[in-house]
Amino acid sequence: MLAGQKETFAKLRSQMQEGKEYLWFHVSSLGEFEQGRPLMEWIRANRPELGIVLTFFSPSGYESAKKYQYADIICYLPFDTALNAKRFVSILRPKMAFFVKYEFWMNYLQALNRAAVPTYSISSIFRQGQAFFRPWGLFYRRALRCFKHLYVQNEESKSLLATIGIDNVTVVGDTRFDRVAKIQELARQLPLVEAFVEGGRPVFVAGSSWGADEDVYLPYFNEHQGWKLIIASHEVNEDRVKNITQHVKGACVRYTKATIDEVRAADCLIIDCFGLLSSIYRYGNVAYVGGGFGVGIHNILEAAVYGMPVFFGPNNAKFQEAQHLKACGGGLEIDSAESFARKMAAFDANTQSLQMAGKAAGDYVHSNSGASKKILDDLKI
């Protein structure tokens, strides 16, 4: 990250085209990048004369997206100092700037404001406990006043902002719903996975799985051989693959090393590479999304969009989509191997309840799509 930040100003100067107008999108990491993608891709398709500059703070986000084809320039955003902000804005001179979700960089926002650059907050979400709403939060509230408009995810956010005198706010929802709908539309066909799911046994897909997650769901499948299991670990290395293999009773094969005949005979398929998970969910009947026994759940919408129930761990309180999925019956929170086993057993005993939960999950995602169009219609880019 530090090395990348040192290259930012030179990269801007060398890659910017004279006379071209640029829109600047700033995201923290990969999740926020996915929220910004529907807007960037619409702009590229409909306003190709406009350039797009995409900046990241997190190395994990930058490394994953540094070859993103719809941005003209991709770089790190240097630390939020007054000097860095002044230099960045004076070099780029963006036509508009977009900060996605939780990005509130005081010096950059003030530099944009002084340069009269229309600046927008996209897919932002606010909670009572945030600094903006505390008695001592005046400094943080100043950052919010630099936005020309805030496009927030829910009515609670709009109401909270109103309590501190910010009313240039529109509730549009979360652009991630548009992104996962597009992912579903573009999902790849994977012949090895198709061979694995042949035969009629239901398929359980564990995505972004950590060791703590496997401790919860693997005991059930070791005792219930009627299911096939696909595991896509959050980390892909030899130690993780070996550890998973040792804890699965059935026949395991690795995606990158298996033949068609081997996957047909296997009980568990371990995905030992990156980039396939969003397409793999399409082959499942039930999904589990990891991270809920750690820092927080990963992307549950990527699974829910395919119309199947999604399990996740207890650390999900800050994830609005998890709360909504639980409320509609499409998401199932579990806190132990025992609670997972009870809920899976209920699905095994009543396939109609499984189908109803899956329909609820799919309906929730598709009914909440459209935030990107609302933003774009309002901006009239």
Residue 309: name the closest of 290, 335, 328 by CA: 328
The CATH number assigned to the domain with range 188-365 reads: 3.40.50.2000
pLDDT at 95: 98
Helix (H, G, I), strand (E, B) or coil at 284: coil
Is the pLDDT at 378 greater than 90? The verdict is: yes
Residue 365: name the closest of 166, 185, 102, 142 by CA: 185
Report pTM. Answer: 0.88
Q: In the predicted model, what is the mean pLDDT of residues 97-110? A: 95
Q: What is the mean pLDDT of the chain?
A: 95
Helix (H, G, I), strand (E, B) or coil at 273: coil
The answer to whether the Cα torsion of 319, 234, 346, 351 is positive or negative is positive
Crossing angle of helices 2-15 and 82-92, rounded to 10°: 30
Helix (H, G, I), strand (E, B) or coil at 90: helix
Report residue 182 as tokens.
Answer: 């597009």
Is the pLDDT at 12 greater than 90? The verdict is: yes
pLDDT at 185: 93
pLDDT at 284: 97
Of the pLDDT bands very low, low, confident and very high (cuts 50, 70, 90), residue 64 is: confident
Cα separation of 364 and 358, whole Å? 10
* Beta-bridge partners for 94: none
Cα separation of 158 and 150, whole Å? 9
Q: In the predicted model, what is the mean pLDDT of residues 358-375? A: 97
The CATH number assigned to the domain with range 2-182+368-379 reads: 3.40.50.11720
Is the pLDDT at 118 greater than 90? The verdict is: yes
pLDDT at 47: 96
Of the pLDDT bands very low, low, confident and very high (cuts 50, 70, 90), residue 124 is: very high
Q: Is the CB of residue 54 less than 8 Å from the CB of residue 62?
A: no
Is the pLDDT at 30 greater than 90? The verdict is: no
Q: How many CA atoms lie within 13 A of 107 on its CB side?
A: 13
Topology agreement, domain 2-182+368-379 and domain 188-365: yes
Cα separation of 208 and 161, whole Å? 34
Residue range 251-284, pLDDT digits in tens? 999 999 999 999 999 999 999 998 899 999 999 9
pLDDT at 235: 86
pLDDT at 11: 94
Of the pLDDT bands very low, low, confident and very high (cuts 50, 70, 90), residue 359 is: very high
Is the pLDDT at 305 greater than 90? The verdict is: yes
- 3-state DSSP: the chain helix, strand, coil percent, rounded to 5? 45, 15, 35
pLDDT at 300: 97
pLDDT at 78: 96
Within 10 angstroms of residue 222's Cβ, the number of other Cβ atoms is: 15
Residue 314: name the closest of 294, 338, 287 by CA: 294
**Helix or strand (DSSP H, E) at 82:** helix 82-92
Q: Is the CB of residue 220 less than 8 Å from the CB of residue 340?
A: yes
Amino acid at 45: A
Contacts of 29 (CB under 8 A, 6+ apart): 56, 57, 58, 60, 61
> DSSP letters of 296-351?
----SHHHHTTS--EEE-S--TT-HHHHHHHHHTSEEE--SHHHHHHHHHHHHH-H
Is the pLDDT at 25 greater than 90? The verdict is: yes
Give the start-to-end residue ranges of the domains of the chain: 2-182+368-379, 188-365
The answer to whether the Cα torsion of 261, 249, 343, 272 is positive or negative is negative
pLDDT at 5: 84
* Beta-bridge partners for 173: none
∠ CA 193-197-202 to the nearest 5 degrees?
135
Of the pLDDT bands very low, low, confident and very high (cuts 50, 70, 90), residue 1 is: confident
- % of the chain residues with pLDDT over 70: 100
Cα separation of 272 and 196, whole Å? 15
Report residue 152 as tokens.
Answer: 């927030």
For the chain, the straight-line distance linking the first and the last C-alpha, in angstroms and rounded, comes to 32
Helix (H, G, I), strand (E, B) or coil at 18: coil
Q: In the predicted model, what is the mean pLDDT of residues 142-171? A: 97
pLDDT at 357: 98
